[in-house]
Structure 1
């Protein structure tokens, strides 16, 4: 049975990638993986959720107006706000990037609702999360790592996140695993073994990527008269000038 996503105790999200085990390596993996998808984004306003997303280096970007949103102060964060209470109007953002943030939120459902509320129709959401089925989860079971990043957060599987996004009328366009690692700098031979296993079983990647597009389906009210009009056969009498057959009496 799945535990509820909402939790009473709030965990502070990391402010920098170097606070996470192998953080600089993970940061490079995320930048390399999402670079191609970010280049195909177009629009006017692009938001990065969390300090980790703010630190990502994405030079080839078509959207000029970019800003980061986070609760805590950060040198690269322009808007300070709660993820559950965004100060943006409805349908005001063209694209949103969130990396390694949902794991540390107290109410992940509400965070995704806020993102969906702020996105325009056909707006893109790029989400990067930690994979709970990766072998790297075993490294966090060591007592010294229990309160360290990223293991101190709450992992959500890709299937669960996809289910949440589908309920919010998102169309999933990309879903994939990447970054196979044990999140430790030791055991070099074991790291090579993890990479070889990843080629056969991609689900062992420590991170996963989801690209989703917000869909809106308009509801048009059909009145009773319009419904009768649609059901009634379209019978039209031919003009007298076009009637070539003679009538018999």
Structure 2
């Protein structure tokens, strides 16, 4: 049975990628996988939510107004606010990028609801999460790593996040695993082994990325309206003068 996503006590989110095991390598992997999706974005307002997201070096997108939001002010943050209370009007953002934000949140559902509220119709959400089935989860067996990042947080499987997005009427266009490895720098042979196995078992990679589009459906579905018109044809009356009658001889 799955544990509820809502929690009373959570670990404080990491302040930078350097706080995560092999964080610099992981940050480069995230930047490479996200760059191709950001280049295809369009609109007027693009928000990157979270401390880790604000520190990503992202390419220039077609969206002119790009800004970062986090709970604490820094050089890379333009808006200081919590991700569970986004200070944006309804349907005001064209795209949102999240990286490792649900793993250290008390209510991950609330973050997705806020994003759904802020996105316009057909707006895009790009989410990068830590895979709980990855190779590096083996390091949790060492007591010294229990309180280290990213193992002190709670990771959610890709399928579970997809279910949450489906409930919010998001249409997923792409979902893939990336960055295979053990998140350690002392030995290189485990990293090479994980890279080779990734071709056959990608579900053991360190992270996954989900690209989804917000969908809004009308109250009256167009297929039903067209079907109703076919069932009830528009009958027209024929004038009496044009009607043919059979005369008796």
Change (3 A) 1:74 1:247: same
CA apart distance, 1:220: 3.5
SS in 2 for 1:156: coil
SS in 1 for 2:72: coil
1:91 maps onto 2:91 in alignment: yes
- Count how many residue pairs are aligned between Structure 1 and Structure 2: 242
C-alpha distance in 2, partners of 1:210/1:95? Answer: 13
Residue pair 2:10, 2:153 contacting (<8 A) in 1 also: no
Residue pair 2:181, 2:190 contacting (<8 A) in 1 also: no
CA apart distance, 1:150: 0.9
Change (3 A) 1:232 1:180: closer
1:153 maps onto 2:153 in alignment: yes
Determine the structure 2 residue equivalent to 1:69: 69
Determine the structure 1 residue equivalent to 2:46: 46
1:17 maps onto 2:21 in alignment: no
Deviations 1:130-157 (A, max 9, x none): 0000111111331111111111111100
Determine the structure 2 residue equivalent to 1:189: 189
Residue pair 1:140, 1:146 contacting (<8 A) in 2 also: yes
Deviations 1:186-225 (A, max 9, x none): 221121111111111111100000000000011149xxxx
SS in 1 for 2:122: strand
Residue pair 1:42, 1:63 contacting (<8 A) in 2 also: yes
Deviations 1:152-205 (A, max 9, x none): 111100000000000000001100000001010022112111111111111110
SS in 2 for 1:124: strand
Change (3 A) 1:140 1:74: farther
C-alpha distance in 2, partners of 1:203/1:112? Answer: 23
Determine the structure 2 residue equivalent to 1:172: 172
Residue pair 2:38, 2:59 contacting (<8 A) in 1 also: no
Determine the structure 2 residue equivalent to 1:37: 37
TM-score, length of structure 1 as denominator length: 0.91
SS in 1 for 2:31: helix
Residue pair 1:11, 1:106 contacting (<8 A) in 2 also: no
Residue pair 2:91, 2:121 contacting (<8 A) in 1 also: yes
Determine the structure 2 residue equivalent to 1:133: 133
Residue pair 2:132, 2:155 contacting (<8 A) in 1 also: yes
Greater alpha carbon shift after TM alignment, 204-213 vs 136-145? 136-145
C-alpha distance in 2, partners of 1:220/1:180? Answer: 46
Change (3 A) 1:121 1:238: same
Unpaired runs of at least 5, structure 1: 222-226
Determine the structure 1 residue equivalent to 2:60: 60
C-alpha distance in 2, partners of 1:29/1:145? Answer: 22
TM-score, length of structure 2 as denominator length: 0.91
C-alpha distance in 2, partners of 1:102/1:228? Answer: 44
C-alpha distance in 2, partners of 1:67/1:229? Answer: 48
